[in-house]
Amino acid sequence: MSGIVELDIHGMTKLQAKACLDSALKRATSATYRIRVIHGYQRGTELRDMVRKDYRGHKKVLRLELGLNQGQTELVLKEY
């Protein structure tokens, strides 16, 4: 089992996406060290901005990682 959980929030409203992310963080086990959030970017930045703003200071999130793919953000829960 991988320690990476992948969530695709394309097409969700901000409220739906937030509920999905909150649920994933609540269900994260000690084996989970990253949550890869696929939010897209071609149809606007509303979901991306929400993820990066609301989860930057979350108590379970160690840090955010932004990669070359503009359509995803990684929530790092702990070092691997």
The β-bridge partners of 5 are 35
**Nearest Cα to Cα of residue 9 among 32, 43, 34, 33:** 43
For the chain, what are the domain ranges? 4-76
Q: What is the DSSP letter of 32?
A: -
At residue 16, the pLDDT reads: 97
Considering the domain 4-76, what is its CATH architecture? 2-Layer Sandwich (3.30)
Q: Which band of pLDDT confidence, cut at 50, 70 and 90, is reported for residue 80?
A: confident
| Average pLDDT score over residue span 18-29 | 96
Model-level pTM greater than 0.75? yes
pLDDT higher than 80, residue 43: no
**Tally of CA atoms within 13 A in the half-sphere of 40 that contains its CB:** 12
The span from the CA of 55 to the CA of 59, in Å, is 9
